[in-house]
Amino acid sequence: MAPKLNSRYSPSSIPALGASGAIMALTSMYALTFPTNIVSVFFIPMPAWLAIGGFFAYDLYQTLIVAPVGQSTSGHVGGAIYGALYWYFKMKR
């Protein structure tokens, strides 16, 4: 799904490659599992749900509105959605 979004919104025909989508999947699972844990973003402490949710919202905005250049934010969005779905169907009890 993410490469499809990337090709739709990005003028480049080069496919995205990297591990950032997997990292976003792991961080979204962490935020859903431990939402009240405190994490530091640029030395500012905040709950995990707020930090990861903020990154997700920024990447979603970049993917749908701004049309990213040089960075596949759609891969981040796809990773976060995958992580949330994995948490919902496999980890939530």
Q: Provide the residue ranges of all domains of the chain, joining segments of one domain with +.
A: 19-91
pLDDT in tens, 31-90: 999 999 999 999 999 999 999 999 999 988 888 887 656 667 888 899 999 999 999 998
**What is the DSSP secondary structure assignment for residue 69, as one 8-state letter?**
S
Residues 24, 79: contact at Cβ < 8 Å? yes
Give the pLDDT of residue 38.
95
Report the predicted TM-score, pTM, of the whole model to 2 decimal places. 0.75
Give the pLDDT of residue 49.
95
Beta bridge partners of 38: 47
Give the pLDDT of residue 64.
84
